[in-house]
Amino acid sequence: MIIERYRRWFEYEKDAHAKVFASFDTVPSDRRDSAEYRRAVAIMAHIVAARRMWLYRLGAIATAPALFPVNPELANVVAEWREAQGDWEGLLASQTDQEIERTFEYKSLDAGRFRNHVEDILAQLFGHSWYHRGQIAMLIRAAGGEPAVTDLIFWCRESCG
Taking only the tens place, the pLDDT of each residue in 104-117 is 999 888 888 999 99
Considering only CA atoms, which of 131, 149, 128 is closest in space to residue 26? 149
Q: What does CATH list as the number for 2-155? A: 1.20.120.450
Phi-psi region at 31: left, alpha or beta (left = phi > 0; alpha = psi -120 to 50): alpha
- What is the rounded average pLDDT for all residues in the chain? 95
118-155 pLDDT, tens per residue? Answer: 999 999 999 999 999 999 999 999 999 999 999 998 89
pLDDT in tens, 15-41: 999 999 999 999 999 999 999 999 999
Reported as a single tens digit per residue, the pLDDT across 66-101 is 999 999 999 999 999 999 999 999 999 999 999 999
Tell me 62's DSSP state.
S
Dihedral angle of Cα 87, 56, 41, 25, to the nearest 10 degrees: 0
Domain boundaries, the chain: 2-155
